[in-house]
């Protein structure tokens, strides 16, 4: 089964196909998102991304996120989860203006429909 750490790493690497595949596998195996354990990592970017993605997925399936996500703060530097946002001005603006709230509040930017079709 995929882990939230693997999903966060794929998101940070901009690996869209892998990200969707891992997320599908994760959601099939993790029926209660509130019980998802905190990933073991020293990388603040991975932990922050994992927390934001869990909150996003929990919102979409109408569940509570794990309690540990509340203790994870925002990144010091913004990260765009789509590689194209670095070169496409309008996409970058869309990500900044309309990123899902769990992502935006932690300094992660993606289109409003990010991971809707997994």
Strands (E), the chain: 79-80, 108-109
Beta strands 79-80 and 108-109: pairing type? Answer: parallel
pLDDT at 117 over 90: no
Span 56-75, pLDDT tens digits: 999 999 999 999 999 999 99
Tell me, yes or no, if the pTM score tops 0.85: yes
Please compute the mean of the pLDDT values over residues 97-113 and round it to a whole number: 97
pLDDT band at residue 118 under the 50/70/90 scheme: low
């Amino acid at each position: 089964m995929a882990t939230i750490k693997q999903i966060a790493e794929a998101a940070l690497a901009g690996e869209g196909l892998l990200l969707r595949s891992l997320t599908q596998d994760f959601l099939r195996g993790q029926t209660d998102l509130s019980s998802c354990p905190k990933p073991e990592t020293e990388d603040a970017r991975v932990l922050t991304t994992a927390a934001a993605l869990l909150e996003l997925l929990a919102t979409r399936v109408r569940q509570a996120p794990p309690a540990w996500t509340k203790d994870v703060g925002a990144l010091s530097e913004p990260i765009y989860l789509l590689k194209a946002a670095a070169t496409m001005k309008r996409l970058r603006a869309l990500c900044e203006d309309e990123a899902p709230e769990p992502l935006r509040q932690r300094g992660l930017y993606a289109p409003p429909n990010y991971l809707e079709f997994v």
